[in-house]
Structure formats: structure tokens, C-alpha cells
Structure 1
Amino acid sequence: MKDDESLTLDPGRLKALAHPMRRLMLRHLSVHGPATSTTLGELLDAKTGTTSYHLRQLEKHGFIEEIPERSTGRERWWRRADGPRDMRLPTPDQLAPEDRPVLAEFQRTGWEEDRELFERFPAAYRNDPEWAKASRGLGRMTKAEFEEFFEAYIALLMKYNRGAEDAPPDARPMHIRLFALPADEE
């Protein structure tokens, strides 16, 4: 699968990403680069066996991969796997009823992360407003226009989304979020 293709997450991948520790591990590997289960255990205050288990789950679902040339003996190095950068959620009707709680848990843990980022924003803006930007707005769109807007946003995000190895030296990893919902349902 090419990097720029989108992928709708299946229930197994959703479950893998719904676990808070796995999300933290994947975020660390994405932002800071390769690490071992020992390094991640120290960062997350977890035992190496626990981090090893969660790393294997992320590997099983294709989110991370071992770096064989860096791994020696029992020390295994892990990195974020290449793959689709546009991973989309299935809609509840695309899932079997028994899999819908997994989607709800995935969303719950994601919103917790997003709330934490939202709370950090004012301090980040005060610290360096050139690196912390926000926009708020209200628009009127048809469903078709909204779909076009969303796809254009994803295309723009993918245009500027590079892996660490392809980024210029002055590039920084950025948390970027978009959410949109009808304003007339308040």
C-alpha cells in the first residue's frame, strides 16, 4: 500500500489503537523516532514485559516494525512502520454491532488526548505563537460541499506530512486536529 492511500481501520486495528499505552507508544515513536521496549517502559513507567506485549500488538496490526539492523540479542528496536498516512474511522453502520464498542473506545481515548492538547494550546501560543496557530469559524455547506472541504483538508495535510527521514532539518512534528459538526444541533 502506498503512503498516500487512505485506509479505513478495521475492528482489530481499532482495538489495537484504543489502548492508551499503545497510543502513547505509537505517538512517542512517531515524534521521537526509534526506541526499545526498555526505553518506552522507562518513559511510561511500565515493565518491559508489558511494553513488549503492547509493541507486539502494534506490530501485528502493521503500525510499527522492528529495526533488525539495530536489534541485538534481547534488545529489539522499533520504529513507526511506513503505510497509509490517512487512516479513517469506519462509520458505526460499517461495523457489526459487537464491534461498535471498540469504535466508541477508540474515540473516547482519542478525545482524551485531544482535550489534553487543547489545554496545552494557550501555553504553547504564549511560548511561541509562530509555532502554535488556531482557527475557529462557521461555514454553511451542503453535504457534498462538506465532503469536498474535508477531502481538500486531507489532501493539504498529506502534502505537508513527511516522515522524519524526509523532512527538512528545521521541520518539527506538529499535532494537527480538525473536527467539524453541525452548528444547528445545539
Structure 2
Amino acid sequence: MTERQLPQVTDAEALRALAHPLRMRILGSLRVDGPATSAVLARRLGTDSGQTSHHLRLLDRYGFIEEAPELGKGSRGRERWWKATQSTTVWSSNPDDLGPDGAEVVSALDRTIRQVWEQIIESYRAQVARREWSAAWQQAAGYGDVVIRTTPERLAAMRAELKKVAESYDLGDQAVPDAESVAIVLQAYPYRTDQ
């Protein structure tokens, strides 16, 4: 993965392109499982290669992924391999930062993210029902919440610090028994009980 300083995406069209469940799943798979061809992604995600190719081209157009020609050695180099350009995507949740269509784009992203996370949780629950996860994993996984009083500046600092804490537990490519990829979701929004 070509790791660069993570710029905030401010192009509403790029974010609109990302606001599609299959595109988010493709991007997530490239980040978690590594580079792949459209055929490999189609198998991973249960879709067809043609549909996957279409979504790959859109993700490439907006810089979320790029070709990995160094991997296209099979079939005399005709396979097109793709990789994510960054480990995460950062954008403002303030619609005003995204131009006149900002509210629509932020809303579409929110809907898509909720849908993708719902699929991830449902998949995990189905795997638990099939006994694919050990008791240790089941006890370690889960939800939690806390409500605090703070300012926007302190909330931004807390989110950055929590991201660093999560990253400090990342084993990366180390070969550690029982290590798995773990999805961590942090949501932080102002909260009023009277609404």
C-alpha cells in the first residue's frame, strides 16, 4: 500500500462515488486482504467479475485505489491487479466543506457506512452461530458506549488519540498465532436526549 499523508477528501464527486456499498466493500477488501484482481474480488465478495471491474475503475478514477502492475505476472501480465492507495479515507462530515451537494453526499455516505457495518456485524454473528470464532474472540468482541461532556476541540483530540491507541495494538504483518483483522468503529456525535 502506498502510504501517504492522509489528506481530507473534499471532492464531493469522489465521495459520491465512494457512497456505494459494493465499492466500500471492494475498498475494504483491498485494504484488509491485500491486492487483488477483479476475479479474486468477485469471489471474495460474492459478485461477478464484470460488475467488480466497473466499480474498480470508479474507485481508481477518484484515487482510492491504483493498479499494481508489479503483481500482474500471470496470464502473460494481462491480469489487472489493484491495491488501495491508503489505509483509511478521511473526509469532513460538515456538508459545507463539500460544496452545494454536501448535505446529499454526507447523507449518502452515512447511509452506506451504516449498511456496510450492518453487513459486517451480521456476517460476524452468522460466523459465531456456525462456531467459527473461539470463545476468546467472542468475549473480546462487542459493543460499548459512553456519553461525555466536552468541546468540539477536545472531541477532535480524543478521536485522534483513540485512533493512535487502536493503531498501537496493530500487529501489522507479524506472524502471531490467533491474530485476525479486527474492525473498530468509533462514532462521536453531539447527543441530546430531548430530541
TM-score (norm 2): 0.75
- The equivalent position to 1:107 in structure 2, one of 104, 107, 110, is 110
Q: Where does residue 160 of structure 2 map in the other structure?
A: 151
Q: 2:12·2:102 contact (CA, 8 Å) conserved in 1?
A: yes
1:168 and 2:148 are equivalent in the alignment? no
Where do 5+ consecutive residues of structure 2 fail to align? none
How far apart in 1 are the matches of 2:124 and 2:39?
31
Query: Partner of 1:140 in structure 2?
Result: 149
| Shift in alpha-carbon separation, 1:64–1:136, aligned structure 2, 3 A | same
Gaps of 5+ in 1: none
Match of 1:88 among 88, 91, 96: 91
Structure 1's consecutive aligned runs of 4 or more residues displaced over 6 angstroms after TM superposition are: none
The alignment partner of 1:136 has SS state of: coil
* Identity fraction in percent: 30
Distance in 2 between residues matched to 1:78 and 1:136, nearest whole Å: 37
Once the 2 structures are TM-superposed, how far is the Cα of residue 99 of structure 1 from its aligned partner? 4.0
Deviates more, 1:27-36 or 1:2-11: 2-11
Q: TM-score, normalising length from structure 1?
A: 0.78
Aligned-residue Cα RMSD (Å) equals 3.0
Query: What pairs up with 1:16-165 in 2 under 5 angstroms?
Result: 16-71=17-72, 72-81=76-85, 83=86, 85=88, 87-119=90-122, 123=128, 126=135, 128-129=137-138, 131-160=140-169
Q: How many residues in Structure 1 have an aligned counterpart in Structure 2?
A: 182
**Higher relative contact order, structure no. (Cα contacts within 8 Å, ≥ 6 residues apart):** 1
SS in 2 for 1:69: helix
- CA shift, 1:178, in A, is 1.0
1:58 Cα offset (Å): 1.1
Residue type at the aligned position of 1:18:
A
2: CA distance, partners of 1:32 / 1:132? 20
